[in-house]
């Protein structure tokens, strides 16, 4: 018995899901009981240059020596604009650190980490931890691939387990087959419309059913990539004959292992999606779950189209876009750009004639990198309407504060670029072709590390912008200070620590990047926080949704924030707060949120005692004159980390 469109169904004790099978094989500590903390062994890690510099600085600070994972890869794909020395200095540091510590290094121009890892390193049944929230992309290959903060990745590289709450496994049953000009992007947007950006918190979305076999690996990866926007721990597909064929084309057929759920697998709940019924969808400004059918917004004039990103930059995504725009010329009112997911995809596009179609139509060709998705170039005009095949459309993320960004499929993006208005691609009556046969694997831009014998002679090069990672202070038993900010629901990591060409080069320099904390919310925050010496942030529901950037915790810690008090947290950001010694607290009574004003003096008493006894923390708003209660919901290990001042000092002290 299945559940359709969100109605719960309770199943009895049955077989195992894919998720449970992988976790069971990698379980180091804890009990596989939903919500309980478990520690799992990590086979592979990935970092990218916006998060990687700090991750390797943390790795060095813990004195961990050579990496102990089966595979660790350091990718350069975010900070590829060389406006001055800073990004290049980071890349040199990353390359020399990788060589010394036993990490493969993917050079600038090789492509986006998630597309590359799917192509060159993904292995069914393995675990992958990445310092990027879209690490679940490799779930399309049957990996348990989880995004986290860089400090967690540093610990995993040193051989330590990754700790996470045992997720509930939500089954997504796919039936039918996608119709012409409807894509995997429309599937995940459909699911986001039903489940919302916080619907997947504490869950893994596991796909099964006859419709799975109709989807290619890149299509599955599009779905698992944007599963991050559901707030999910990760998403995963089976490893079947489609996966075997993909790995064979990549010259890696020997790593294939068939992997599927037991026929009687026990899912917490099941959602059914009929692929035949899926239609072109769009996420409207400013959230990935603000979803409508493209047909309902068709005709709106636009200014910009961007095709690519880790979500939709496979050769077939580029292929359908090129075939569409190749029938004419990009509309006069539209600026259109394409970024390829990897050098392999770019070469396939050149060999198949797709690149010529794109250039001939008037498309601009960008570097194989994240680029516009993180506000690194190709920003929209003031108040512009931009259609993007990306995964996030948070306000200001594009680099233009008042832009209206829509998330769509490559088919919708290309059709709209051609006509100059938002267009339902089904109107074009075209068929998608398969260009995957043009893919030729090459690892010439992957630099192998030095051997253990040679490692001691490798010098790690550090530029002047690279500063040591700040270390948190041990937790005091009483905390007091002002509510320095009061924020609403849905605060993203882009609100807390913006990305973009101006700020990303500061990722290896916390004192400097901290000056930009909450820049789009309140420019005075960093100065006020430093002047106060300590304080709190108060916010609503799903605080910290979005990327895995640990700087959204690092910078507030550096500025003196000792606790964040909210209605609810997003998973990765909550973990990052703990890692950097900031108490993640939730209102026991959510209505108390309404009684606190920005600037109120807050006092938390007997904090360590309450944490140690697993009781609620008593708080007082001395300005407004009332008391309230806060819940921490912390496991014993998290309590020990917080008392030590964060994961870095905790690990230095030999904590486990």
Residues with a catalytic annotation lie at 77-78, 132, 392, 547, 549
Strands 203-208 and 535-538: unpaired
Our CA angle for 385, 388, 390, nearest 5°, is 140
Q: Round to whole Å and give the CA distance between 422 and 67.
A: 48
**Listed residue (391, 378, 45) closest to 227, CA to CA:** 391
Q: Round to whole Å and give the CA distance between 95 and 84.
A: 18
Q: Round to whole Å and give the CA distance between 177 and 416.
A: 24
**Listed residue (589, 592, 595, 587) closest to 624, CA to CA:** 595
Please give the sequence-ordered ranges of beta strands (E in DSSP) within 176-233, or none if there are none: 203-208
Q: Round to whole Å and give the CA distance between 565 and 544.
A: 12
Q: Coil, strand or helix: which one is 585? A: strand
Bridge partner list, 538? 486, 565
**Listed residue (493, 615, 553) closest to 231, CA to CA:** 493
Q: Round to whole Å and give the CA distance between 11 and 266.
A: 6
Bridge partner list, 387? 305, 406
Backbone angles phi, psi at 339, to 5 degrees: -125, 130
Counted residue by residue, the chain has a size of 656
CB 422 within 8 A of CB 297: yes
Bridge partner list, 40? 27, 162
Provide DSSP, 407-436: E--HHHHHHHHHHSB---GGGG-------G
Please give the sequence-ordered ranges of beta strands (E in DSSP) within 301-448, or none if there are none: 304-307, 335-339, 364-366, 385-388, 404-407, 446-447
**Listed residue (276, 266, 273) closest to 1, CA to CA:** 266
Q: Round to whole Å and give the CA distance between 295 and 282.
A: 9
Half-sphere exposure of 203 (CA within 13 A, CB side): 22
CB 584 within 8 A of CB 564: yes
CB 628 within 8 A of CB 588: yes
| Helix-helix angle 217-226:241-249, to 10 degrees | 100
* End-to-end Cα separation, the chain, in angstroms: 43
Provide DSSP, 481-519: EEEEEE--S--BHHHHS--STTTGGGTT-HHHHGGGTTT
Query: What does the DSSP 8-state code read for residue 637?
Result: H
Query: What does the DSSP 8-state code read for residue 451?
Result: P
Segment holding 222, helix H or strand E: helix 217-226
Query: What does the DSSP 8-state code read for residue 247?
Result: H
Segment holding 352, helix H or strand E: helix 343-352
Integer CA distances (angstroms), 573 to 107, 355, 358, 372, 583, in order: 28, 39, 39, 23, 12
């Amino acid at each position: 018995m299945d559940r359709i469109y969100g109605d719960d169904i309770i199943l009895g004790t049955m077989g195992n899901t894919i998720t449970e099978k992988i976790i069971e094989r990698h379980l180091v500590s804890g009990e596989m009981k939903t919500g309980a903390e478990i520690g799992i062994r990590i086979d592979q890690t990935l970092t990218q240059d916006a998060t990687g510099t700090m991750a390797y600085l943390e790795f060095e600070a813990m004195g961990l020596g050579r990496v102990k994972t089966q595979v660790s890869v350091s990718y350069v794909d975010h900070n590829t604009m060389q406006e001055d020395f800073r990004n290049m200095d980071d890349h040199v540091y990353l390359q020399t650190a990788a060589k010394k510590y036993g990490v493969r290094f993917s050079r600038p121009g090789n492509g986006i980490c998630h597309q590359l890892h799917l192509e060159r390193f993904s292995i069914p049944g393995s675990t992958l931890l990445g310092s990027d929230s879209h690490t679940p992309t490799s779930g399309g290959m049957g990996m348990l691939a989880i995004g986290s903060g860089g400090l967690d990745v540093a610990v995993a590289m040193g051989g330590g387990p990754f700790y996470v709450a045992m997720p509930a496994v939500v089954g997504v049953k796919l039936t039918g087959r996608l119709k012409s000009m409807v894509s995997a992007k429309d599937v995940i947007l459909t699911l986001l419309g039903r489940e919302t950006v916080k619907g997947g918190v504490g869950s893994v979305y596991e796909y099964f059913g006859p419709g799975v076999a109709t989807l290619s690996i890149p299509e599955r990866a599009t779905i698992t990539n944007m599963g991050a926007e559901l707030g999910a721990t990760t998403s995963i597909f089976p490893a079947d004959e489609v996966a075997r064929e993909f790995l064979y084309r990549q010259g890696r057929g020997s790593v294939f292992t068939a992997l599927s759920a037991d026929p009687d697998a026990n899912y917490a709940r099941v959602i059914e999606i009929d692929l035949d019924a899926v239609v072109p969808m769009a996420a409207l400004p400013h959230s990935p779950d603000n979803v409508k059918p493209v047909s309902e917004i068709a005709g709106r004039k636009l200014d910009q189209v961007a095709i690519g990103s880790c979500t939709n930059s496979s050769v077939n995504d580029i292929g359908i876009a090129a075939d569409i725009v190749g029938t004419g010329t990009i509309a006069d009112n539209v600026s259109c750009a394409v970024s390829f997911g990897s050098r392999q995809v770019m070469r396939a596009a050149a060999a198949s004639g797709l690149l010529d179609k794109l250039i001939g139509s008037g498309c601009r060709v960008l570097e194989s990198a994240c680029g516009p998705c993180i506000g690194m170039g190709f920003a929209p005009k003031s108040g512009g309407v931009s259609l993007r095949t990306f995964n996030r459309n948070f306000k200001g993320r594009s680099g233009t504060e008042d832009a209206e960004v829509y998330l769509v499929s490559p088919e919708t993006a290309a059709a709209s670029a051609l006509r100059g208005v938002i267009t339902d691609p089904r109107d074009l009556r075209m068929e998608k072709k398969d260009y995957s046969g043009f893919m030729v694997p090459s690892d010439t831009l992957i630099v192998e590390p030095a051997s253990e014998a040679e490692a001691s002679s490798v010098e790690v090069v550090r530029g002047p912008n690279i500063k040591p990672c700040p270390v948190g202070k041990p937790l005091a038993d009483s905390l007091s200070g002002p509510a320095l900010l009061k924020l609403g629901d849905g605060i993203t990591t882009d609100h807390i620590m913006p990305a973009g060409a101006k700020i990303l080069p500061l990722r290896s320099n916390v004192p400097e990047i901290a000056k930009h904390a909450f820049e789009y919310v309140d420019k005075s925050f960093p100065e006020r926080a430093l002047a106060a010496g300590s304080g709190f942030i108060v916010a609503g529901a799903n605080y910290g949704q979005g990327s895995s950037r640990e700087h959204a915790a690092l910078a507030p810690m550096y500025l003196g924030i000792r606790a964040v008090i909210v209605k609810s947290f997003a998973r990765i950001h909550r973990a990052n707060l703990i890692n950097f010694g900031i108490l993640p607290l939730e209102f026991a009574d959510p209505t108390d949120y309404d009684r606190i004003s920005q600037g109120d003096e807050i006092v938390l008493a007997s904090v360590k005692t309450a944490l140690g006894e697993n009781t609620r923390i008593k708080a007082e708003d001395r300005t407004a004159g009332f008391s309230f209660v806060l819940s921490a919901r912390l496991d014993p290990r998290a309590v020990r980390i917080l008392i030590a001042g964060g994961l870095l000092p905790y690990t230095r002290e030999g904590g486990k």
